[in-house]
Amino acid sequence: MSRGDSRRDDLMDGRVRAVLLVAVVIGAFIEVGTEHRRYGLLVDVFALAAVGVVGAAAVLGSESAATLARQRDRLAQEPQPRTTVPICRYVTGPAAPQHQPQPPQHQPPRARPFLRERPTDLSVPRFGDGARAQGYPWLLPERTAQNGIAADEATVGAFAIRAASVIGPGHRCDLPAEPRQDSYRIGRSRDSRYAIVAVADGLSSAAWSDAGATTASSQAVTLLREQIETVGFGGLDAKELYGRIAESVAAQAAGRGVGPAHMATVLITAVLAEPDADGVAEAWVAWLGDSSAWTLDPRVPLWRIAAGDAKDRTAAVVSNEVAGRLPDTPQLARDHYVTLAPGAALALVTDGIGDAWADQAGNVNEYFANAWRSPVPATRFTADVGFDAPQCLDDRTAVVVWNGDRA
């Protein structure tokens, strides 16, 4: 509406109120001047009151109209913005300038990410792109088997022990799913002067290898405790030990009605004697197959192999064939002694971890050397054992013994 139209409307409103006021005043005089038979005085009072009310309304209305007109004139003279500003706006911070990058002329199409069927496990360390099977759901084997995860935490004298075994992605994600074929046991002598460790890895080609590994690791700790009590730490005998374990595995196979080859497993064992006056501990390690023992100097972030039949990783094709196994060839077991300085650690691992540590191209060994420089909680230790790395699909088991609890 223009200012001229507004003024014409105000002028028309003023004339209407003036005519109304004159009409009311004339009517009031006529009413007062006319003689009434009854209530004359009361009628005169109401008439005069009506004149006063109408007069006041006319004056106030004219003043209000004049005020509104002045406000409209002032607003009309002010410059108006060209755009409409929203009444309410949520502001989270200054908006960054939007730059539209120009796509390169020869950019290859980006590969679509693999859609995992279960939430990514952020608690486990991941190396490179990880393994595709790591993201698949965990499936159960058809028959009753040991748990997919096992873990322990213990202290024996001056030794701090952490142990964990996790079924590998390659065994749990496909049908038919396989049981965890790794097994471990930890124990001690009666006087806690010696810590005892056994780690077994059932062969994937054996249908009941999980039962064979469980039998071997359990019997190893039991028989080693007996040897310590009868012949002492210096008289431990690998040939006798592994021979008796082989007999137990064969007996288990016979009880299940299967051949001994169906329960084939490899095994590595260790007995750690209490540290001497200088804090140095000695460990006896015996093994049969490709499970391995590694030592860690806390001043050097690197696990170094100390025992076990390492695979030839320089070959064009790395073979998983093992030279010895239980219960077939216990006579091939070997042993030797390892020295642990104060703060050093000894790890017994299956090839699910040992192969990754031996791979010089990756940084898995360096990560575990830093992560396990000193004892960690069993939950953190288990998450580390469940690491995600390319082509690492096998079961993985680790038992680490630190000489001195430096947690």
How far is residue 377's CA from residue 50's CA, in Å, rounded to a whole number? Answer: 95
- The count of other CB atoms within 10 Å of the CB of residue 169 is 24
Which residue intervals of 114-262 are DSSP H helices? 169-172, 209-230, 238-256
Query: What pLDDT, on a 0 to 100 scale, did the predictor assign at position 43?
Result: 57
Mean pLDDT of 166-191: 93
pLDDT, tens digit (0-9, with 9 covering 90-100), for 95-118: 334 444 555 555 555 544 444 455
Asked if residue 25 has pLDDT above 70, the reply is no
Query: What pLDDT, on a 0 to 100 scale, did the predictor assign at position 10?
Result: 46
Query: What pLDDT, on a 0 to 100 scale, did the predictor assign at position 45?
Result: 64
Q: What is the pTM for the complete model shown? A: 0.70
Q: What pLDDT band is residue 78 in, cutting at 50, 70 and 90?
A: very low
Q: What is the DSSP string of 158-171?
A: TEEEEEEEE--HHH
Place of tokens 């009310």: 53
Gyration radius from the chain CA atoms: 46
262 vs 134: which has the higher pLDDT: 262
**Listed range (51-60, 149-158, 215-224, 283-292) with the worst mean pLDDT:** 51-60
**Listed range (149-158, 162-171, 315-324) with the worst mean pLDDT:** 315-324
Query: What pLDDT, on a 0 to 100 scale, did the predictor assign at position 14?
Result: 58
Asked if residue 63 has pLDDT above 80, the reply is no
Mean pLDDT of 238-257: 98
Mean pLDDT of 41-62: 59
Q: From the DSSP assignment, how many helices (H) and strands (E) are in the chain?
A: 8, 11
% of the chain at pLDDT higher than 90:
58
CA distances from 359 to 129, 192, 251, 366 (A): 16, 36, 38, 11
CA distances from 72 to 76, 77, 196 (A): 6, 9, 97
322 vs 151: which has the higher pLDDT: 151
Query: What pLDDT, on a 0 to 100 scale, did the predictor assign at position 121?
Result: 74
Asked if residue 179 has pLDDT above 90, the reply is yes
Which residues 6+ apart lie within 8 Å of 269 measured at CB?
A: 196, 197, 198, 199, 220, 224, 241, 285, 286, 287, 348
Q: What tokens were used for 218?
A: 């359990």
CA distances from 275 to 110, 286, 306, 359 (A): 57, 20, 19, 32
pLDDT, tens digit (0-9, with 9 covering 90-100), for 385-404: 999 999 899 999 999 999 99
